[in-house]
Amino acid sequence: MTPPLSYPALKSVLEYVVVEKRIHLTSRSKFLQRIDKTIPVYAKSIRAWGDNVKLNSLLFTGKNNYHRAEDEMNGMLLISYLRGRSSINVNLAVFSTVNTSQDIPVKLDLTINKLQTICCNLEVVLSMINSRSLPLTEFSTIIDKPTNVDLEIVRSAKNVIFSTSDKVIGLEKLSNKSVRFRVDGLHTNTVAKIIKYWVQNGKEVGTEFTISYSTNLDLSLVVANLQEQFHKTRGYSEAINEHSRSGFCIQLSSTSKLIVHGMEKLEVNGHDVYNLVLKIVLSH
């Protein structure tokens, strides 16, 4: 007869069992539940929207919209498991239309690598993210109302992606080196505000903001308007030596300069995209 596993052995085994199986295993034994609570939990993703929470492939829905009895059982096991945990480690956390703590059915304490929010109250979402998550690998957001993004967790992200128009506040203050704007770009005044802040306060070499526009005309108008606004700025020049569309550069210091230029058409997911690039380079 095979001897039972020791406490350390059980602990080691549980830690490396995929989270779906781990939830099922621990639901059958209070002893395993006690062991489980001493071990970190790792998952690929967690998603929260409405009354729903999905951890990897397990879904809990507060509206009881289950198609099978098995799905309902798995959902109840999941929510019970999450309510019994102090924290969860996940690679990607996605929140959609979460504006109050009552919008999701369980209190979460997450340590994450990537965060995506869709039409959420950032303050509410960030209250569920543990500070151990910083710095993030990626922060991506769709914003539907004016929101200040000059936040520590956003500044910590290696890559930042905004899928929004002009409802983002504090863009010019972000210290991130890689920021992308998708879906209809930014208004000229918003881009100009970023440029003015960089000219006045400097910016780290290697920084690159990429702003996407859906038509060639939109991009051309933005570039022309920016040239008109900044052509009298000290250190302004249209000799940018870039293999690109028209643009300009502004000397920021004896060692760095800002280059603003359009790029030729790109195809992204079957759609034509025209990018405006703001980047800080070494000045020779």
- Per residue in 237-257, pLDDT (tens digit) is 988 865 666 899 999 999 999
Decide if 256 contacts 205 (C-beta within 8 A).
Answer: yes
Peptide bond into 146 cis (omega under 30): no
For residue 8, what pLDDT band results from cuts at 50, 70 and 90?
confident
pLDDT at 65 over 80: no
Q: Please tell me the predicted confidence (pLDDT) of residue 214.
A: 87
Secondary structure of residue 196 in the 3-state scheme: helix
Mean pLDDT across 18-30: 93
Encoded amino acid at 206, one letter = G
Checking DSSP bridges between strand 247-251 and strand 256-262, what pairing results, if any? antiparallel
Work out the angle at residue 31's Cα, subtended by the Cα atoms of residues 26 and 32, and round it to the nearest 5 degrees.
Answer: 30
The distance of Cα 173 from the centroid of its chain, to the nearest Å, equals 17
Please classify residue 58 by burial: count the beta carbons closer than 10 Å to its beta carbon, then call 0-12 exposed, 13-18 middle and 19+ buried.
buried
Q: Is 114 helix (H, G, I), strand (E, B) or coil?
A: strand
> What are 163-167's contacts with CB under 8 Å, separation 24+?
166/190, 167/143
Q: Are 254 and 283 in contact (CB under 8 A)?
A: yes
pLDDT in tens, 160-169: 999 876 788 9
Percent of the chain exceeding pLDDT 90 equals 71
Amino acid 258: pLDDT: 97
Q: If DSSP codes are grouped into helix, strand and coil, which group holds residue 215?
A: coil
| Tens-place pLDDT, residues 68-117 | 888 889 999 999 999 988 799 999 999 999 999 899 999 999 999 999 99
* Chain center to CA of 185: 17
Q: Say which amino acid occupies 275.
A: N
Q: Whose CA is closest to 280, among 205, 200, 179?
A: 205
pTM value > 0.95: no
Residues 77 and 69 sit within 8 Å (Cβ to Cβ): no
Q: How many residues does the chain have?
A: 284
